[in-house]
Amino acid sequence: MSDLQTILDGIHEELSPRRGEGKVATYIPELAKVDPRKFGMAIAAVDGSTYRAGDAEEPFSIQSISKVFMLTLALGKAGEGIWTRVGREPSGSAFNSIVQLEHEAGIPRNPFINAGAIAVTDIVMAGHAPREAIGELLRFVRYLADDDTITIDDKVAKSESQTGYRNAALANFMRAYGNLTHPVEHVLGVYFHQCALAMSCVQLAKAGLFLAARGGNPLTGHNVVSARRAKRINALMLTCGHYDGSGDFAYRVGLPGKSGVGGGILAVAPGIGSIAVWSPGLNKVGNSQLGSIALEMLAARTGWSVFGA
């Protein structure tokens, strides 16, 4: 893969003039302060090599990308039993919609919309105090990325919790249906902290590498999940990872991915590697505008796609 770095550099260079496109998320005050011209990319390949371009080593708020790691934890803890509390279908609506939740009696459509992630958080919290659950996630992500410098940005977590009325609505609603077992404030506390995980593209690509490598991490030799589970998480990322832009992402990029409103996207090329991009400006459906384009270019130039060569 000697020319993978060349491809990455090329994409970065071509897109650099467009930095600043899209709209930075403003509903979390702390996120609004981010420089909209940031743009980083990193790849962690299954052969252990890594590639980077632009602001690839600067930590940013991964936001909803953390839902992938929480889901992995929940599956580890409760196995396939979690699917009684959250579905596996694309939502066909916005990431924070409450409508569907009412029609389906408090069972969120999938673990990658906010409501679903809140249910997943509740599952991970079983037997834990809130602080412990946050600690468990942090340890897990550090273990995945083999990097103990990863932290949670408390300012962002606080910023979220102060404006998180909609998530509070979702949580209370699920609790009304009995699909939340811990106190609402506790679950939201953990949820807001997971969203505030700060990671660089390089850290993120490494942390997601197990999904490309049959569930194991080639960098550390750790077995994270079974090959079967890795495939299943990838399937969920592909069908549900980009809110109401999931179909479009699959059409254009053809890789499982998960985006966050911080402007990051984690994508997986099974058997090849894990890719992280970051550019804060979002498109209309709430995914990183430049990040989506960068991944589309990468997929086109490498031929990476789960849907054929």
Which residue ranges make up the annotated binding site?
A: 64, 114, 160, 167, 191, 243, 261
CA–CA separation, 285 and 96 (whole Å): 12
Report the candidate in 197, 196, 76 with the shortest Cα–Cα distance to residue 145.
Answer: 197
Active site residues per annotation: 64, 67, 191, 243, 261
Beta strand 264-269 pairing with 273-278: antiparallel
Q: Tell me how far apart the alpha carbons of residues 25 and 272 are, in angstroms, rounded to a whole number.
A: 32
Site string for a copy of itself, 128-167 (x = CB under 8 A): -------------------------------------xx-
Toward a copy of itself, which CB reaches closer, 117 or 138?
Answer: 117
Alpha carbon distance, N-terminus to C-terminus of the chain: 17
Asked if 87 touches a copy of itself (CB under 8 A), the answer is yes
271 scored as a contact of a copy of itself (CB under 8 A): yes
267 interacts with a copy of itself by CB under 8 A: no
d(CA 139, CA 158): 21
**Min separation Cβ 16 and a copy of itself, Å:** 26
169 scored as a contact of a copy of itself (CB under 8 A): yes
Among 5, 49, 135, 235, binds a copy of itself (CB under 8 A): 235
- Residue from 270, 280, 281, 291 touching a copy of itself (CB under 8 A): that is 270
Asked if 181 interacts with a copy of itself (CB under 8 A), we say no
- Restricting to residues 45-64, name those near a copy of itself by CB under 8 A: none
**Among residues 176, 181, 222, 284, which is the contact residue for a copy of itself, using CB under 8 A?**
176
Site string for a copy of itself, 88-107 (x = CB under 8 A): xxxxxx---xxxxxxx----
Q: What are residue 255's phi and psi, to 5 degrees? A: -130, 145
Q: Which of 71, 88, 195, 196 is nearest to 122 (CA)?
A: 71
Give the HSE-up count for residue 143: Cα atoms under 13 Å, Cβ half-sphere.
15
Residues that bind a copy of itself (CB under 8 A): 87-93, 97-103, 109-110, 165-166, 168-173, 175-176, 184, 211-212, 214, 227, 230-232, 234-236, 238-240, 244-248, 250-251, 254, 256, 270-271, 305-309
